[in-house]
Structure 1
């Protein structure tokens, strides 16, 4: 009985670790927040076996319509996190961040990645004016992820 009182909280803590993984980032508070509950927003959380072919352990994605969010706030957080990246690729339109792919500092032996895209800056996508924010963790290299996303 004594072990149940110790084991149960420990299990809850261990299960929540992947969900807290990106909390050390400026963009961390956007995931699992009211942003994902907005109309036309899409939030995805995947972990486990489904990610094994991609050599990932955690995938979090948040797609938001630009008319209902503060884009500058999200862009500022992405830029702050991106400034600490060990590798990055970015594209700008005017003085705005159009996209960013950042390899962040490893966390507990796992590679960490952040991807951002602001479709509202591309006139060809005016019907899909949204931003996408993706956080990933795993053993995958940057080249592996780029190949996976190119498919």
Structure 2
């Protein structure tokens, strides 16, 4: 292999391994893996350009039009992952999580990690994983800022 091709290959491998490492050790990774290509499911992963705008290194979300069959796995994964969280904020109705905010310990200095979860009365659900330099206040501001 000539040198330029070898360098490109190494850079690609580093990018892939960083993405795979991002959710390593988290149970929610299995939700993304299992359901990302199912009908009625939308998965979003932001590009590097968008990530830099919001001081993120990774953003992944998965939304379910009808989360019925996926809910037991989602809730089981959240239950396990939230045990590792530094901060937990949840809204629980009739014994079930309606929404959750979980700040996980950093895996690297200045790289914060968050799991966000929300359900709707219509049976929809969204699970989001974010990591980056943004802190909890930045995240809350971004989530609740008014759209023009």
In the other structure, the counterpart of 2:84 is 84
Counterpart in the other structure of 1:117: 118
Equivalent position to 1:132, from 115, 126, 130:
126
Residue correspondences, number: 143
The yes-or-no answer on 1:145 pairing with 2:132 is no
SS in 2 for 1:99: strand
CA displacement, residues 101-120 of structure 1 (integer Å, 9 cap, x when unaligned): 1110101221111001121x
List runs of 5+ in structure 1 lacking aligned partners: none
> Paired residue for 1:28?
29
Is 14-23 or 62-71 further displaced after alignment? 62-71
The TM-score, its normalising length taken from structure 2, stands at 0.85
Deviation at 1:67, TM superposition (A): 5.1
Please give the secondary structure, in 1, of the residue aligned with 2:39: coil
Give the distance between the partners of 2:52 and 2:81, measured in 1 at CA: 26
- Taking structure 1 as the reference length, the TM-score comes to 0.84
- The gaps in structure 2 that reach 5 residues or longer are none
CA RMSD in angstroms comes to 1.9
Task: Answer yes or no: is the 8 Å Cα contact 1:57–1:137 preserved in 2.
Answer: yes
Name whichever of 82-91 and 137-146 sits farther off: 82-91
CA distance in 1, matches of 2:132, 2:53: 11
Task: Report the Cα offset of residue 47 of structure 1.
Answer: 3.5
Moved over 3 A (4+): 1-9
